[in-house]
């Protein structure tokens, strides 16, 4: 893993390195390696493993090798290290955190307050492209575009963590109209212009080899969006999504893991947390983004992210996981 601005953030290293996190894991299999562990592995239920910040990546890899799935990561505040590995009912660590901190756990937004399906495929909103620029630096892999639409002429509104549908023009090989594709929204509810009149996407052009002919195939909707001209109309549906919304809790610990364009909803989170000014919301917790990319040139929104880390180092942690670069010592 590679973390930017190492020297500038050296003062925070000890603080983060000493932090402990609790992984809730399901699906661990009893095998030769787990037999070496100091606690039993159950066939059902959750196992809670306390991990120091400095070993989080290694522990994730180890859990994957053992066939486990991490279902949640919580800061270890108020949780005794003695719980490490105990198969405990899921509700117990939440009760412990709540009782010891004197503060209720972060609750999801009331679903009645979440806008959904304002526009449907049979009657989409017609937006207009006002911005379309490349995010991959020279020497990077593929093409990723930041595309912004004007939505001022309609009633479309959305929250951070939601998605919208895009209906590409034309027909498929059966002569039927193309179906919509969903894309995570990359802007806050106020839009990149902060005027409540835009919505932005982060779109990678899908490209792959046909398994039989070997010909290069390009994704229909992603290619359409990546080559969309400024001023062009676009059919938009939605928004959709109720489960991945940014918590209202200003002191929450928000750990985000993304690869490539999976950063889109987290960009919306971070821009609301740190870039925008709100009278009713000021983030004072800890936001940690772990961002996986093949090459440094593929770090999307790199300048903005590193500027946020430099300015809000007490509340924002940025870690890059670069998979394909050869670094010689």
Block means of pLDDT (10 residues each) for the chain, length 329 residues? 44 55 73 50 64 78 77 63 40 38 47 86 96 95 96 96 96 92 96 94 92 88 96 97 89 92 96 86 91 94 95 93 73
CATH of the domain at 12: 3.30.1490.170
Q: Classify residue 141: in a domain, yes or no.
A: yes
Q: Would you list the DSSP string of 255-272?
A: EEEEEGGGGHHHHHHHII
Q: What is the pTM of this model?
A: 0.68
Side-chain-side CA neighbours of residue 50 (13 Å): 14
Q: Which domain range does residue 30 map to?
A: 1-105
Residues 98 and 141 in one domain: no
Residues 86 and 138 in one domain: no
Of the candidates 159, 164, 185, which has an alpha carbon nearest to the alpha carbon of residue 117? 164
- pLDDT at position 84, please? 40
* Number of residues that this document lists for the chain: 329
Q: Classify residue 308: in a domain, yes or no.
A: no
Residues 62 and 182 in one domain: no
Residues 74 and 184 in one domain: no
Residues 88 and 195 in one domain: no
Contact 128, 173 (CB under 8 A): no
Beta bridge partners of 120: 123
Contact 172, 181 (CB under 8 A): no
- pLDDT at position 6, please? 41
3-state secondary structure of 293: strand
Contact 178, 168 (CB under 8 A): yes
Give the span between the Cα atoms of 297 and 126, in whole angstroms: 34
Residues 70 and 176 in one domain: no
Residues 86 and 187 in one domain: no
CATH of the domain at 150: 2.40.30.10
Q: Classify residue 305: in a domain, yes or no.
A: no
Q: Classify residue 278: in a domain, yes or no.
A: no
Q: Classify residue 266: in a domain, yes or no.
A: no
Residues 146 and 98 in one domain: no
Beta bridge partners of 216: 209
Residues 161 and 233 in one domain: yes
The tally of domains found in the chain comes to 2
Residues 121 and 212 in one domain: yes
Residue at token pair 């109209």: 177
Of the candidates 313, 308, 305, which has an alpha carbon nearest to the alpha carbon of residue 10? 313
Residue at token pair 């050296």: 10
Q: Classify residue 9: in a domain, yes or no.
A: yes
Q: Classify residue 30: in a domain, yes or no.
A: yes
- pLDDT at position 101, please? 42
Give the span between the Cα atoms of 122 and 237, in whole angstroms: 9
Q: How many CB atoms lie within 10 A of CB 280?
A: 6
Residues 16 and 93 in one domain: yes
Q: What are phi and psi for residue 296, nearest 5 degrees?
A: -55, -40
Tell which of 67, 82, 105 closes a domain.
105
Residues 209 and 101 in one domain: no
Give the span between the Cα atoms of 23 and 51, in whole angstroms: 7
């Amino acid at each position: 893993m590679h973390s930017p601005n190492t020297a500038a953030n050296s003062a925070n290293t000890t603080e983060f390195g000493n932090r402990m996190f609790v992984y809730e894991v399901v699906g661990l299999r009893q095998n030769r390696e787990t037999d070496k562990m100091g606690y039993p592995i159950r066939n059902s239920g959750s196992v809670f493993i306390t991990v120091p910040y400095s070993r989080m990546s290694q522990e994730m890899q180890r859990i994957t090798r053992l066939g486990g799935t991490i279902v949640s990561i919580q800061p270890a505040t108020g949780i005794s290290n003695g719980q490490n590995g105990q198969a405990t009912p899921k509700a117990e660590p939440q009760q412990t955190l709540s009782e010891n901190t004197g503060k209720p756990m972060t609750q999801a937004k009331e679903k009645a307050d979440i806008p959904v399906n304002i526009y449907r495929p049979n009657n989409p909103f017609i937006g207009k492209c006002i911005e379309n620029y490349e995010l991959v630096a020279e020497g990077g892999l593929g093409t990723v575009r930041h595309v912004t639409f004007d939505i001022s002429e309609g009633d479309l509104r959305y929250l951070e963590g939601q998605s919208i549908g895009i209906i590409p023009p034309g027909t498929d090989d059966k002569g039927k109209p193309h179906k919509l594709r969903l894309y995570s929204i990359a802007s806050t509810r106020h839009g990149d212009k902060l005027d409540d009149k835009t919505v932005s996407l982060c779109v990678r052009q899908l490209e792959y080899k046909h398994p039989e002919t070997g010909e290069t195939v390009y994704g229909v909707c992603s290619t359409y969006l990546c080559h969309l001209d400024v001023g062009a109309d676009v059919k938009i549906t939605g928004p959709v999504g109720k489960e991945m919304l940014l918590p209202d809790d200003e002191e929450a610990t928000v750990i985000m893991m993304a690869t490539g364009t999976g950063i889109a909803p987290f960009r919306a989170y971070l821009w609301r947390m740190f870039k925008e000014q709100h009278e009713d919301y000021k983030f004072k917790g800890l936001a940690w983004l772990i961002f996986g990319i093949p090459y440094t040139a593929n770090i999307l929104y790199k300048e903005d992210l590193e500027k946020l880390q430099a300015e809000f180092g007490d509340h924002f942690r940025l870690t890059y996981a670069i998979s394909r670069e050869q670094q010689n010592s």
